[in-house]
A and B are shown apart, each in its own frame.
Chain A
Amino acid sequence: MPGAIKRIIQGRPFGHPLHPMIVHLPIGLWVLSFALDVLGWLGIDGLIRPAFYALLAGLAFAVLAAVTGFADYTDVRKDHPTRPTATKHMLLNVAAVVVFGVSALYRIHQSQPDWLPTALSAIGVILVSISGYLGGVMVYDDGLAAGRHRRRHQPEQTHKVDAAPDDGYVAVMEADDLPENTPTRVEANGHVMVLVRRGGELFAVQEYCTHRCGPLSEGTVEGANIRCPWHRSTFELRSGRVAEGPAKVELKTFDAREDDGKILVRIPAA
């Protein structure tokens, strides 16, 4: 998918992810549809068509939500701890669409409360409740898409290396794979850090923000500093010191150099 289209589907020009905007519609409409079923069983009549229309509209918007969801999914680093949650979220939602789709078919000619479409909707509501919960986990526990609209680079899988240090240094990646001003996540002998090449220099600081452990590799380089995407704490790349809060504690820094086409970082002695 061309980068520009994907960026629009993700909502980057709006400064706000699109997927979380659109999902309100299927969630609200499917829950309403089920509630109308229940009210119908409780004796209020005239709700059968409304329950069908609400469910159908929910399906239509769910398809739109799915497109934006897939676009977001492709931006989740493959080794991000929350990727399995994202996969489960997606599968639950696909299942919900199928279940509500079948429920819709039974409602086309429905004229009175019917246990099967109601049961299907109940299952569907349970599925989206779980997947919605997981959506909340991804955003509020794991910070997915927080600050994403500010960054320009695509987070890649971590460059992971386990090697015996040579004079304290470990080769972690090819120098050609580190573009200018692009935070790049690296794990060297268990030390997780972010590398930045800037103005002919190489910087390496710890990956985890000292505020709430946000991913600096998904943040932004601003002048001589790096900014955390979650709550905007800013640190000097050279020294690791806090330039702007809410963080209060400095980052660990590592010495990094380029040699023979490779980037090397110095690992502290165990």
Chain B
Amino acid sequence: MDWLKHILQGRWLGHPLHPALVHIPTGLWPAALLFDAIATAGGGGNAMLRTSFACIAGGLLVATLAIPTGLAEFVEIKPGRPARRIGVYHMILNLIATTLFAINLWLRWNNWRDAWTVTPLQLTLSVLGVLVLFVSGYLGGRLAYDRGIGVGRMSKDKWRRIAEAGHANLPPTKGE
């Protein structure tokens, strides 16, 4: 099933797919909270709540697509590396955030067209979901920017050429 893993890893794109996809829920769910807050403070009425609903729904749709891409990244991390444990926490927190927003969506499903207020439960779920997401998203960033997951994975040839031009000592390539 290597071909599937490579598609999910974004090898066809030239860089990891997971970080690209997660922009949608990571942007939309905090935005949903913002619109919930504005609606609660009295601004925008039903239109603001529709916006919030659209943010939650759009985020859920793409978050679901992001899950297999995340797994495809996770399986590349060697066991025993610190990044593996960070990856597990990141995954669990993301599943929690997704579940919270799924419940939130379900609560809004029947009245998004004419609701005028956010219920306390809906608002609480938005707040909790975003707080969990901030932690899981931060860990995702740590995986990339602190542990280098995905960095230089698909650009090995390009950098090798640059390094060779700079007279670097390098490991032998596979053909040698």
Enumerate chain A interface residues (CB-CB to B < 8 A). Answer: 14-17, 20-21, 23-29, 31-32, 35-36, 46-47, 49-50, 53-54, 57, 81, 132-133, 136-137, 139-143, 145-150, 187, 190-192, 206-208, 210, 212-214, 229-232, 240, 248-252, 268
A137 and B15 CA atoms in complex are apart in Å by 7
Whether B163 contacts A140 by the Cβ 8 Å rule is no
User: Which of chain B's residues have a CB closer than 8 A to the CB of A53?
Assistant: 35, 44, 47-48, 51
Q: A206-B168, A213-B162 are in contact. Are A136 and B20 (CB under 8 A)?
A: yes
A57 and B167 CA atoms in complex are apart in Å by 49
Q: Is B42's beta carbon under 8 Å from chain A?
A: no
Q: Is B23's beta carbon under 8 Å from chain A?
A: yes
The interface centre, meaning the residue of A46, A187, A190, A268 with most chain B CB atoms within 10 A of its CB, is A46
Q: Is B59's beta carbon under 8 Å from chain A?
A: yes
Please pick, from B44, B46, B141, B155, the residue contacting A16 in the complex, using a CB distance under 8 A.
B141
Whether A208 contacts B151 by the Cβ 8 Å rule is no
Whether B26 contacts A28 by the Cβ 8 Å rule is yes
Whether A28 contacts B148 by the Cβ 8 Å rule is no
Whether A191 contacts B167 by the Cβ 8 Å rule is yes
User: Which of chain A's residues have a CB closer than 8 A to the CB of B146?
Assistant: 15-16, 147, 149-150
Main secondary structure of the interface of B (DSSP, over half): helix
A216 and B65 CA atoms in complex are apart in Å by 36
Whether B159 contacts A251 by the Cβ 8 Å rule is no
Residue on B nearest A192 in the bound complex, by CB: B166
A249 and B142 CA atoms in complex are apart in Å by 26
A210 and B156 CA atoms in complex are apart in Å by 11
User: Which of chain A's residues have a CB closer than 8 A to the CB of B167?
Assistant: 190-192, 206, 252, 268
A210 and B172 CA atoms in complex are apart in Å by 10
Whether B162 contacts A32 by the Cβ 8 Å rule is no
User: Which of chain B's residues have a CB closer than 8 A to the CB of A29?
Assistant: 27-28, 31, 55
- Chain A nearest Cβ from B136, distance in angstroms: 12
Q: A149-B145, A213-B152 are in contact. Are A252 and B169 (CB under 8 A)?
A: yes
How many B residues face the partner with a CB closer than 8 A?
Answer: 56
Whether A143 contacts B30 by the Cβ 8 Å rule is no
User: Which of chain A's residues have a CB closer than 8 A to the CB of B23?
Assistant: 23-24, 27-28, 132
- Chain A nearest Cβ from B53, distance in angstroms: 8
A46 and B113 CA atoms in complex are apart in Å by 8
* Interchain residue pairs with CB less than 8 A apart (14): A15-B142, A15-B146, A23-B23, A28-B31, A29-B28, A140-B153, A148-B145, A192-B163, A192-B168, A208-B159, A210-B168, A213-B152, A213-B162, A249-B170
Residue on A nearest B51 in the bound complex, by CB: A50
Please pick, from B20, B145, B153, B171, the residue contacting A132 in the complex, using a CB distance under 8 A.
B20
Q: A26-B27, A231-B147 are in contact. Are A141 and B158 (CB under 8 A)?
A: yes
A93 and B139 CA atoms in complex are apart in Å by 26
Whether B155 contacts A36 by the Cβ 8 Å rule is no
A207 and B162 CA atoms in complex are apart in Å by 11
- Per the 8 Å Cβ criterion, residues 2-40 of B in contact with A are 13-16, 19-20, 22-28, 30-31, 34-35
User: Which of chain B's residues have a CB closer than 8 A to the CB of A137?
Assistant: 14-15
Whether A141 contacts B155 by the Cβ 8 Å rule is yes
User: Which of chain B's residues have a CB closer than 8 A to the CB of A268?
Assistant: 167
- Chain A nearest Cβ from B63, distance in angstroms: 11
Please pick, from A141, A207, A248, the residue contacting B168 in the complex, using a CB distance under 8 A.
A207
Q: Is B138's beta carbon under 8 Å from chain A?
A: yes
A213 and B152 CA atoms in complex are apart in Å by 8
Residue on B nearest A187 in the bound complex, by CB: B166
User: Which of chain A's residues have a CB closer than 8 A to the CB of B156?
Assistant: 212-213
A208 and B164 CA atoms in complex are apart in Å by 9
Q: Is B41's beta carbon under 8 Å from chain A?
A: no
User: Which of chain A's residues have a CB closer than 8 A to the CB of B148?
Assistant: 143, 146-147, 229-232
Whether A147 contacts B145 by the Cβ 8 Å rule is yes
Whether A212 contacts B169 by the Cβ 8 Å rule is no
- Apart from A25-B30, A27-B27: 13 A-B pairs, beta carbons within 8 A: A28-B25, A28-B28, A53-B48, A132-B23, A141-B15, A146-B145, A147-B148, A192-B166, A208-B162, A208-B166, A213-B156, A231-B151, A249-B170
